[in-house]
Amino acid sequence: MRPQSMKVFDELRNLNVLTVQNAKQNGERVVGCYCTYSPQEIILAAGAHAVTLCGTRQEPIAAAERDLPRNLCPLIKSSYGFAVSKKCPYFEAADVLVAETTCDGKKKMYELMSKIKPMHVMNLPQSQTGEQALAAWAKEMEIFKDWLAEKFAVEITEEDLRKAIKLMNREREAMRRLHATTKVKPSPVTGVDLLVAVWTKGFNINKEDGIKLVEDLTAEIEELASQGISPFSPEAPRILLTGCPVGFGSEKVVRLLEECGASVVAFENCSGYKALDRLVDEDENKDVMIALAEKYLSIPCSCMTPNEGRLELINKLAKEYQVDAVVDLTWQACHTYNIEAFVIRDYVQNQLNLPYLHLETDYSESDVEQLRVRVQAFLELVQGA
Amino acid sequence: MLTAGIDVGSVATKVVLLRDHEIYHLVRPTGWSPRDAGLNTFQELLQQTGYQESEVVCKVGTGYGRISLDFIDKAVTEIHCHARGANYLVNGGGLVIDIGGQDSKAILMNDEGKVLDFTMNDKCAAGTGRFLQVMAAALGVDVSQLAELAKDQQPLEINSMCTVFAESEVISLLAKGSNKQEIIAGIHRSVTRRVWGMASRFGAAKQIIFTGGVAKNLDVRNRLAKEAGAPVIAPELGQFAGALGAALYARDLASKELS
Ligand code: SF4
Ligand code: SF4
């Protein structure tokens, strides 16, 4: 049975657009973000709204390919395509954009995008280790704060920041509880639904409402679980998904896995759990920028070198969610995740002793049947055929 | 007990009827309707062997057309059927390399023939039977002649991986007056390099079993052994490995239901 609250999330997609447009009419400010590295706390402290703009749809890609090379990751092309085609209401609503120097493709695309809207790009260190990286990232936080304050002609106080940190931590905790509902065997909710809920939340500009919605959904799923209700049979293999970000419109692999009889219970990718694992330190004695920098720098993204945190997180999630197998998704032309697949395979197969499948694809439907063979064969393997 | 395995590939449909240790087999072109190809080949083999359809206790389908077969009891992916069939033909596990019409795959098995891991070529046709077909057409020869023509020839370098570009490369080599037989040897080397590049990630295997239509090409087989630095076994019924594996699954399934 599908949780009733999911209907609310389905409708939210259109509703959110109205909320953003209303907010705009009331003179409120909107900041578009592209990645989990964007410090939403600073945006909130500036009294503005943050929306996630990562491109997860195929439609705008053709428009993007007029300016960008074809063999580029679909996420980058989709993000840029939305910007140039003016088809994304959230992009249109954004007063300014914030981005980070993550992978090369994004970095260079942002240069083109910055001609469309005012954009601030934060210089992300490539490594998480060492005082230097932390200090540099904290400094970048400061620079972004000043930039935003000037753009919006507001003052961003430490008090505002501390308040925003508490709010964002509450949101993270609510999201973690939502994810945790799938720990029950068999999972009371499909991976596709979980993905929709998580993804839709990114467009919800009213944080308190958003937290409430997520809490209601969680409560309902927990209730289903307590009654032993699940869309899956107890034998359905439990899958951990890792790799590139996945969202609505680019959920084909999740859908395929579940169509073929698996249950996707854990999302390690940055659209899932990656950015939730660590909260911002609320210690009032700690420098607020350092506290923020510590949290965001610790995100185990493949653009970091080395990126051991990803292995630790996969290990942790694999155990907590009692998964039977790991699927690693790479968007075509994403070099960082593609190359890391080598290390992940070795780790999953030899350290965790779990079956591992690496899939490389894009947002189009052209290879669904080929992917289906791989997925079915993999599930046969997991089930010991 | 009589069981059937029906392997509907993109180019050819293979059917196996299995009874104890007796293997009856038949191959037909798939054509435009995978369902009809599967059903007709199955019925033709029944006719040839004199069995009645009612005597077949279980039918398992595999291959890309398996989803459209509405008369089978179960569908199993070609990965598992190929491994199963290959291990039946050549005992002891190892690495199965299957080059089919549309895709090629490498399957790692343990000593009992259980699948441990597998890879497949992605969207593109390099390293598949289709690649050989296109090249043969460009050279004006039949695919079945390739092996003989390339025998003991020094391969010319073919650089393009993409089928379309490799085709124009071959045509320009011809125009330059290059030796046709050396070109074919080059094409074979290109296919085996590509396939071995994919399979070698599993490291050294105890034995390599080469199946699928292309395994009949002796020159490709020899070059594959050279790439791999290990002997390559091509069982006689290699082309039927998938169908045989399916028939073996059907046997398991039927025994489970009987017990
Ligand atoms: S994968 Fe890395 S760069 Fe891409 S959106 Fe996630 S955190 Fe950002
Ligand atoms: S998926 Fe890979 S290539 Fe695409 S934006 Fe993320 S890190 Fe960059």
Q: What is the pLDDT of residue A281?
A: 97
Average pLDDT over residues A130-157: 97
Torsional sign, CA A280, A286, A289, A293: negative
As a whole-number percent, the residues of chain B with pLDDT over 70 amount to 99
Which chain A residue's Cα is nearest to B252? A385
Average pLDDT over residues A179-193: 97
Structural Rg of chain A based on CA atoms: 20
pLDDT digits (tens, 9 = 90+) for A255-284: 999 999 999 999 999 888 999 999 999 999
Beta strands in A88-135 (DSSP E): 96-100, 119-122
Q: Is 90 exceeded by the pLDDT of residue B24?
A: yes
Q: What is the pLDDT of residue A255?
A: 97
The domain spanning residue B141 has which CATH number? 3.30.420.40
Mean pLDDT is lowest, of A31-45, B120-134, B147-161, for: B120-134
DSSP helix/strand/coil, B11: coil
Residue A102 CA: nearest ligand 1 atom is: 3
Give the CB-side neighbour count of residue A333, counting CA atoms within 13 A.
Answer: 15
Same domain, B46 and B157: no
Band of residue A96 on the pLDDT scale cut at 50, 70, 90: very high
Average pLDDT over residues B250-258: 90
Instruction: Tell me how far apart the alpha carbons of residues B221 and B227 are, in angstroms, rounded to a whole number.
Output: 10
Average pLDDT over residues B125-148: 87
Same domain, B222 and B202: yes
Give the type of residue at A32.
Answer: G
User: With an 8 Å Cβ cutoff, are B79 and A366 in contact?
Assistant: no
Rounded (10°) angle between helices A335-346 and A308-320 = 60
Same domain, B5 and B83: yes
Q: B2 pairs with which residues across the strands?
A: B19, B56
Tokens found for residue A303: 């653009």
Instruction: Write down the mean pLDDT value for chain A.
Output: 95
Q: B59 pairs with which residues across the strands?
A: B4
pLDDT digits (tens, 9 = 90+) for B53-72: 999 999 999 998 999 999 99
Same domain, B205 and B139: yes
Same domain, B63 and B127: no
Q: Is 80 exceeded by the pLDDT of residue B192?
A: yes
Same domain, B76 and B33: yes
- The A356-361 sheet, strands edge to edge: A263-267, A238-243, A325-331, A356-361
Q: Give every CB contact of residue A49 below 8 A, 6+ residues apart in sequence.
A: A20, A23, A28, A29, A30, A31, A43, A205, A206
Average pLDDT over residues A163-173: 97
Q: Give every CB contact of residue B128 below 8 A, 6+ residues apart in sequence.
A: B99, B100, B101, B102, B103, B104, B121, B191, B214
pLDDT digits (tens, 9 = 90+) for A201-216: 777 888 999 999 999 9
Average pLDDT over residues A27-35: 94
Same domain, B223 and B150: yes
Beta strands in B9-152 (DSSP E): 12-19, 22-29, 56-62, 74-75, 94-99, 104-109, 115-120
As a whole-number percent, the residues of chain A with pLDDT over 70 amount to 100
Q: What is the pLDDT of residue B123?
A: 63
Instruction: State how far residue B79 is from chain A, nearest Cα, in angstroms.
Output: 6
- Give the residue numbers spanning the domain of B173: 93-234
Q: Is 80 exceeded by the pLDDT of residue B12?
A: yes
- Helix ranges restricted to H, A181-206: 191-201
Tokens found for residue A354: 């779990």
> Within its chain, how far is the Cα of A289 from the centroid?
23
Instruction: State how far residue B198 is from chain A, nearest Cα, in angstroms.
Output: 13
Beta strands in chain B (DSSP E): 2-8, 12-19, 22-29, 56-62, 74-75, 94-99, 104-109, 115-120, 208-211, 232-233
- DSSP state, A108? H
Tokens found for residue B167: 């085709």
Average pLDDT over residues B25-37: 95
Pairing of strands A325-331, B232-233: unpaired
The residue with tokens 């089930």 is: A383
Q: Which of residues 210-269 of A touch B (CB under 8 A)?
A: none
φ, ψ (nearest 5 deg) of residue B224:
-65, -45
| CATH placement of domain A28-160 | 3.40.50.11890
Q: Got the DSSP string for A31-73?
A: EEE-STTS-HHHHHHTT-EEEE-----STTHHHHTTTS-SSS-
Same domain, B106 and B224: yes
Same domain, B177 and B108: yes
Instruction: State how far residue B138 is from chain A, nearest Cα, in angstroms.
Output: 27
B103 vs A: CB within 8 A = yes
Same domain, B47 and B173: no
B179 vs A: CB within 8 A = no
Same domain, B41 and B118: no
State the total domains in chain B.
2
Same domain, B144 and B163: yes
Verify whether ligand 1 is closer than 6 Å to residue A33 (CB atom): no
Q: Are B221 and B233 in contact (CB under 8 A)?
A: no
Among candidate residues A135, A136, A164, A132, the one with its CA nearest the CA of residue A148: A164
The residue with tokens 């973690």 is: A176
Q: Are B128 and B103 in contact (CB under 8 A)?
A: yes
Q: Are A24 and A17 in contact (CB under 8 A)?
A: no
B123 vs A: CB within 8 A = yes
Q: What is the pLDDT of residue B168?
A: 86
User: With an 8 Å Cβ cutoff, are B122 and A369 in contact?
Assistant: no
Mean pLDDT is lowest, of A13-17, A341-345, A349-353, for: A13-17
Instruction: Tell me how far apart the alpha carbons of residues A15 and A24 are, in angstroms, rounded to a whole number.
Output: 14
Verify whether ligand 2 is closer than 6 Å to residue A240 (CB atom): no
B172 or B24, greater pLDDT = B24
Query: Domain coordinates of chain A in residue numbers?
Result: 28-160
The ligand that comes nearest to the alpha carbon of residue A271 is: 1
Average pLDDT over residues B107-111: 94
Instruction: Tell me how far apart the alpha carbons of residues B126 and B188 are, in angstroms, rounded to a whole number.
Output: 11
